[in-house]
Amino acid sequence: MSVLDREILALVRRVSEEAILPLYRALDDGQIVAKAPGDVVTAADHAAEAMLTEALAAFEPTLPVVGEEAAHADAGVLDALAGDCWIVDPLDGTRNFARGEAPFGILVARAEGGVARSGWIYDCLSGRFCAAHEGRGAFVDGERIAARGTGESTLVAAISLLFMDEGRREAVKRQVAPHYRLTDIPFCAAEQYPRLALGRNDVSIFERTLAWDHGAGALWLNEAGGKAARPDGSAYRVDEWDRPGLLAAASPALWDDLAARMAGL
């Protein structure tokens, strides 16, 4: 691991141990608040983001930190995504966490000019630590990895329909889904991206593409030799967070197959 990787690992491990895990399956009703229909935030999210923001600001004082909860409170925070910044999802998988279920994790990315250049994914329960830097490969717990598919005769797909409009949702169900064996979506990008590189899923479809959900994961999957890109093949950018649609796959060939099916919608 690089020096920065070790520093980030120490940070996310500390945040997990001090701000997140003590509240796992121990939240009071007042510590879970609805942000939007089907979307909640917990006391752990806020505590974790505060710790991450303080520490990352100390790493590089000139870089703003774009945190999920800060952006929810003030949309102006998102303006920093066009420049150089840190991007933080302090508790990815809050829906699961609030229910006392796995998976959930921490996502951190460092972006320059609207593009994620480094990314880290931490699983709070297992301690799995994924890291990637542009042009330098992808790593799990310090070991370089190469993305692999499931090897199953019927490809395995995790398709998130949550944020699609009704017409697109029905089209995906009718024209795309039948070509795959559908599996569960983990409601957690910190889990979904590793599944695509580590032989559990072959392809995945995302509709909502928020920077804190996808900045680190898309970079990590691409560096592993898989592919995450917009349906038209263009690269994912963190400053286009409000643009819908992102396809991810364990290999470029699998991505091409999925993109061809999606193009017919």
Give per-residue pLDDT as tens, 185-242.
Answer: 999 999 999 999 999 999 999 999 999 999 999 999 999 999 999 999 999 999 998 9
Sheet strands side by side (includes 105-112): 65-67, 85-92, 105-112, 115-123, 129-133, 138-140, 143-145
Q: Report pLDDT digits (tens) over 133-188.
A: 999 999 999 999 999 999 999 999 999 988 888 999 999 999 999 999 999 999 99
pLDDT at 78: 97
In eight-state DSSP terms, residue 198 is B
The pTM of this model reads 0.96
Where do the domains of the chain lie, and which CATH numbers do they carry? 3-145 (3.30.540.10), 156-263 (3.40.190.80)
Q: What percent of the chain has pLDDT over 70?
A: 100
Residue 92 confidence (pLDDT) above 80: yes
Which tokens go with 183? 């599996």
Q: How confident is the model at residue 39 (pLDDT cuts 50, 70, 90)?
A: confident
Q: Are 190 and 91 in contact (CB under 8 A)?
A: no
